[in-house]
Amino acid sequence: MKYCLVIGSNSFSGANFVNFILNKKIKVIGVSRSKELNKVFLPYKYSSHIKNFKFYKININKHKELKNLIKIIKTNNIKHIINFSSQGMVGESWITPLDWYQTNSFSQIKLFEYLKNLNLKRYMHVTTPEVYGNNRDILYENTPFNPSTPYAISRSTSDFHLKALYKNYKFPVIFSRAANVYGPGQQLYRIIPKLIMSCKKNIKIDIHGGGHSKRSFVYIDDVNDGYYKIFTKGKLGNVYHLSSKKFISIKNLSKKVIKLFNKKEKDILKLEKKDRKGKDYAYFLNSNKIRRELKWKDKIDLDLGLLKTIQWINKNYPVLKKIKLNYKHKK
């Protein structure tokens, strides 16, 4: 692989993966619907191989821009694509669900219909464990979908379409589903950076549902390694889970971060009994498949990962302190 297209290169995982493969001396074209963010959120901006990266602002919700993306793929003879793009933020998907269906379902399927005729070698779809819905059991790659929010439904739809393309057209798709990814460069409205910023600013953070839901947190460097292994060596048509083997409640995660700052829980935590609609209790992803087949393992545990994330926030605090901690929906 000498050339790669990264769709959603402005996203946390997308920007980090761009940086990861640039350092492997792969030329990269990145596209996102918004202009490039402040460079503190774009690690590839610091890469010694930045000359091998080219960015295009493209919104695939707009047909003319989608056609321009296909032209870029053809002009550069791109055969490897990884797609991080989606409208995120699960809870907000209840407010204007049509926006989520437009971005995560309709526009994605339009993209797939173009891509299926381009003779690609590999297309990796970065999807989500949200498709499994509320489940307290161990989740395997073949666990049936049971989405419980507009966000999860919208992602399930595009996953189902890609499965059909693989079955009927041999479209070279591979799926990845990662647990909660975190680390330096993550948007501040996500739980770990938001907790850290709340501690630094000494302001309260709302934790819905009493913080009882459980998650696995995987550090971004480990995830990049997993994505690369899946992208280059994964079996076409297959799904691979990326997850640590440890799970923690959001309440206990919050306590862990607060303790690192020697703060009092009552000064930072505001535990709300009411949970958001469709909140899934847990995603207990089984990741034995990627560990066995592709020899992947997570190397950075949560304690070390939190320290690394705090270091990044401390280093960039003059910039980060000016950014609001709440999510702002983009159409």
Residue 328 scores a pLDDT above 90: no
pLDDT in tens, 161-177: 999 999 999 999 999 99
Q: Out of 95-99, 127-131, 273-277, 283-287, which region has the weakest mean confidence (pLDDT)?
A: 273-277
> Can you give the pTM of this predicted structure?
0.95
Is 145 inside a domain boundary? yes
* Residue 208: pLDDT over 90: no
Q: Give domain status of residue 72, yes or no.
A: no
**What is the number of structural domains in the chain?**
1
Q: Does the structure show a pLDDT above 80 at 94? A: yes
Q: Which residue range is the domain that position 168 belongs to?
A: 86-331
Interatomic CA distance for residues 10 and 30, integer angstroms? 8
The pLDDT of 246-268, averaged and rounded, is 95
Q: Give pLDDT, residue 329.
A: 60
Mean pLDDT value across residues 92-114 = 94
Compute the half-sphere exposure of residue 70: CA atoms within 13 Å on the CB side of its CA: 18
133 is a domain residue:
yes
For residue 52, being part of any structural domain is answered with no
Report, as an integer, the average pLDDT of 118-145: 94
pLDDT score recorded for residue 92: 87
Out of 113-127, 155-169, 198-212, 308-322, least confident range: 198-212
Domain assignment present for 280: yes
Weakest-pLDDT range from 253-257, 276-280, 325-329: 276-280
Residues 289-296 have a mean pLDDT of 98
The overall average pLDDT reported for the chain is: 94
**Average pLDDT of the segment spanning 246-265:** 95
Tell me what pLDDT residue 271 has. 82
Other CB atoms within 10 Å distance of the CB of residue 40: 19
Domain harbouring 163, CATH code: 3.40.50.720
| pLDDT (mean) for 243-257 | 95
- β-strand 214-215 against 248-249: which pairing, if any? antiparallel
pLDDT at 330: 63
Distance (Å, whole) CA 167 – CA 137? 28
Quote the pLDDT of residue 272.
80
| Domain annotation covers residue 76 | no
The answer to whether residue 7 is domain-embedded is no
Q: What is the pLDDT of residues 55-66, one digit of tens each?
A: 999 999 999 999
Q: Would you state the pLDDT for residue 273?
A: 72
Q: Look at residue 277 in the predicted model and tell me its pLDDT.
A: 67
12 within a domain of the structure (yes/no) = no
The sign of the dihedral angle between the CA atoms of 320, 250, 277, 279 is: positive
3-state secondary structure the chain: CCEEEEECCCCHHHHHHHHHHHCCCCEEEEEECCCCCCHHHCHHHHCCCHHHEEEEECCCCCHHHHHHHHHHHHHCCCCEEEECCCCCCCHHHHCCHHHHHHHHHHHHHHHHHHHCCCCCCEEEEEECHHHHCCCCCEECCCCCCCCCCHHHHHHHHHHHHHHHHHHHHCCCEEEEEECEEECCCCCCCCHHHHHHHHHHHCCCEEEHHHHCCEECEEEHHHHHHHHHHHHHHCCCCCEEEECCCCCEEHHHHHHHHHHHCCCCHHHHEEECCCCCCCCCCECEECCHHHHHHCCCCCCCCHHHHHHHHHHHHHHCHHHHCCCCCCCCCCC
